A and B are shown apart, each in its own frame.
Chain A
Amino acid sequence: MSDPCFLGIDVGSISTNLVAIAPGGEVLCELYRRGDGHPIDSVQACLAQLQEEAPGLAVRGVCTTGSGRMLAGAVVGADVVKNEISAHARATLHLHPDVRTIFEIGGQDSKVTVVRDGAVVDFSMNLVCAAGTGSFLDSQARRLNITIEELSAGAMLSQNPTTIAGRCTVFAESDMIHKQQVGHAQPDILMGLCHALVRNYLANVCAGKELKSPIVFQGGVSANQGICRAFRESLGCDIIVPRHHMVMGAYGAALIASRTGVKNTRYRGEKAATHKVVTKGFTCADCPNHCEIIEIRDGEEVIGRTGGRCGKWDGNGGGPRPQVDPVPDLLEMGVPEP
């Protein structure tokens, strides 16, 4: 007897997360896996782990999200591919229907989502700088030779946090080194770092947004107690860290998969976890855009393509692709040999 379930997979820059839910929305299994830069392997490892931890699930629908959603979608055979902003908001609204502001800080992205009356009305993402995201904390922890968990616990011990420049990671780092050399205690420096990150986030990502409570804080960085404390102190109000806060993107994706009414899932089943999937890149020369197309293959079978900007290389996996005439090549330049 197999239980029906829906999968949500969130392939982010730092972690790959998977959540399996029952049709009613209860979480059956949640996996958080720090990635090592191999998104395909991470997704497959997650699927294998799901088999071990919760055997006998019958997958009825899959939704992928995160910056690697197209690739992951091809590997597992997703029914829906959804952007992470909508996925996160869906999960938060499911757990906290009265939420009005969502903070989400991940590995390389930080976002704020403004919710009114149960609907997303505005959002904003960090632009071109990773200061104020998880990778900033990661690199500082590495420099101090402590784990990210120790950074979190250490910051909570601070009685008198010092001020660290938060504009840019490079300046923050030199500021921290100076404070160390002047003799500040490590917990005070760590808490100062958390304050700097939060200050940067509130000043840049949240610029011009009306932050109304209840505020829900999620994403990988929400596991950091120091950051939560810094948010509470800066905003002067409580913030909610939800259950499943580390995997909210995947949870939202699973909820989306369960709500779209998929009849026959495109999930590739056993094949998704075990078959070796390879990718091959080439440059399309049909127009001056010179898109870098990535072809995703399972053996001889093409299961998906990403990277095209005109629809020519879209199409469902290896199915027939729409014929798109090239735009006039005024230059007749062709493409340089790779």
Chain B
Amino acid sequence: MTQIAIPNIGNYTVALATAVESLGIKPWASTATTPEALKLGTEAAPESVCLPLKAHLGHFIAADRAGVEYALMVNSVGTCRLRYYRHMIEQILKDLGLKIRIFGLGFDGFKPPLVRHFDPGPITFLKPLFHAGEQIRAIDEMETLAWKTRPIELAHGETTRVMNKLLLELSRCRTLAESRAVRRTTASRFATIAVDRSKKPLKVGLVGEVSFLRDKCLNKNIEYLLGDQGIEVKNFFSLGEELRNIARIVLLNKNRGRELLDIADRYLQTTVGGHALDSVAHSIRCAELGYDGMVHLAPCGCMPEVGVRPILKRVSQDKDIPILELSFDEHTCDVGITTRLEAFADVLRERRRKRAAVGVS
């Protein structure tokens, strides 16, 4: 059976794997880059490139070693270096003498090159698309509930347990109807978790580079680390939202980027690549919505995200919202990250206490 390696984008990988599987191709992916793959990528890549490239590359090398013939890579929308990285990864793989062939998920023509290659016919092509769409919707719903439930759960680890169980069930669904059934039970399943409604958890938004927002290996499972300290998070990379945006661009010629540009207008008048504009715009929006703070994740040397950091500092001052900037490198030990997150949580708690004392809502 043909095997294809798909990129790791956190829980969304489950949906991608389902889509690929219904095309009759065996997916090779995981919800987090494994440390072994990361090591392979770090060894093969030039030292100065960003960590997401090393993670992608390592994942593909590991796939090749496992006998996988093809790989899939997102490379079209957005203008960070990742776009050009597909060619770089291809070159490195070639230099290493590996046979794995990479398809871009780009829009060069009506059919993506992957579909052109396997040519499954319109019905077999559309069905998995809808199925994956349903699963992405389900995953978005689950995550939103998990972010809200984890900080107020009474039994430690209960949210993670429910979440993982639902994901497991979702990954076993073979038809659209099954996936929809799982999605419809999501809310009631989360409702069984005993919570303390009187708690008013701190609310923190996560912005930054996509791989770091989603790959639990790269971000050290930051959603859990924050939730465990009683902080409600909102992760601002949502695949469902991105796809809806693409649909809006194609069907209605309306880009969400315009809205973001309007919000960020005083600070940034253009997209600077990646999701850097999103980081700025969401930080401004969150300050207005009364979030307690923001965490900005970026790999060392990420051109767009590191580029907007001075802007984020200004936003933080002007809008009075603390922004914690986390830079990640190949460190495998998370003590540095947890120390910063814990101290940040202390700052936010103290800030809220003081504000309550002087009567600011």
Contact = CB atoms under 8 A, between A and B. Distances in A.
Contact of A322 (B30, B36, B161): B161
A38 B167 CA distance: 41
Chain A contact residues: helix, strand, loop or mixed: loop
B87 interface: no
Nearest to A326: B164
A333 interface: yes
Contacts of B33: 288
Interface stretch (A80-88, A94-102, A232-240): A80-88
A208 B313 contact: yes
B327 interface: yes
Interface in B11-38: 13-14, 17, 27-36
B320 to A, nearest CB: 10
Interface in A266-299: 287-290, 292
Contacts of B342: 82-83, 85-86
Interface in A91-126: 117, 119-123, 125
B331 interface: yes
Given A122-B322, A128-B329, A85 B343 contact: yes
Contact of A328 (B35, B36, B167): B167
B331 A325 contact: no
A287 B155 contact: no
Given A67-B339, A83-B342, A328-B167, A288 B30 contact: yes
B225 interface: yes
Interface in B271-305: 300
Interface string B332-343: 101110111011
B160 A324 contact: yes
Given A127-B327, A336-B36, A327 B343 contact: no
A54 interface: no
A289 B217 contact: yes
A125 B27 contact: no
A119 B225 contact: no
Nearest to A68: B335
A330 B32 contact: no
B354 interface: yes
A333 B28 CA distance: 10
A264 to B, nearest CB: 20
A127 B309 CA distance: 14
Of A67, A315, A328, the most chain B CB neighbours within 10 A belong to A328
B242 interface: no
Interface in B320-361: 322, 327, 329, 331-332, 334-336, 338-340, 342-344, 346-347, 350-351, 354
A183 to B, nearest CB: 37
B156 interface: yes
Given A312-B157, A328-B171, A288 B164 contact: no
B157 A290 contact: no
Interface centre among A119, A123, A309 (most CB of B within 10 A): A309
Contact of A325 (B168, B171, B310): B168
A94 to B, nearest CB: 15
A55 interface: no
Contact of B340 (A121, A125, A325): A125
Contacts of A82: 342
B343 A83 contact: yes
A144 interface: no
Interface residues of A, number: 39
B313 A330 contact: no
B160 A330 contact: no
A323 B30 contact: no
B161 A324 contact: yes
B165 interface: yes
B221 A309 contact: yes
A173 interface: no
B346 A288 contact: no
Contacts of A330: 13-14, 17, 27, 29-31, 171
Nearest to B28: A331
Nearest to A81: B342
A123 B31 CA distance: 33
Nearest to A85: B343
Contacts of A315: 156
B99 interface: no
B171 A309 contact: no
Interface string A297-322: 00000000000011110110000001
B224 interface: yes
B134 interface: no
B101 interface: no
Given A119-B354, A289-B217, A330-B13, A324 B346 contact: no
A119 B160 contact: no
Nearest to B327: A127
A283 to B, nearest CB: 9
Enumerate the 6 nearest inter-chain pairs by beta-carbon distance, A residue then B residue, closest first. Answer: A322-B157, A85-B343, A288-B30, A83-B342, A328-B171, A309-B221
9 contacts: A85-B346, A121-B322, A121-B351, A288-B32, A288-B34, A289-B35, A310-B160, A322-B156, A325-B161
Given A85-B339, A330-B27, A331-B28, 9 more contacts: A67-B339, A122-B322, A122-B347, A128-B329, A310-B221, A325-B161, A325-B165, A327-B168, A330-B14
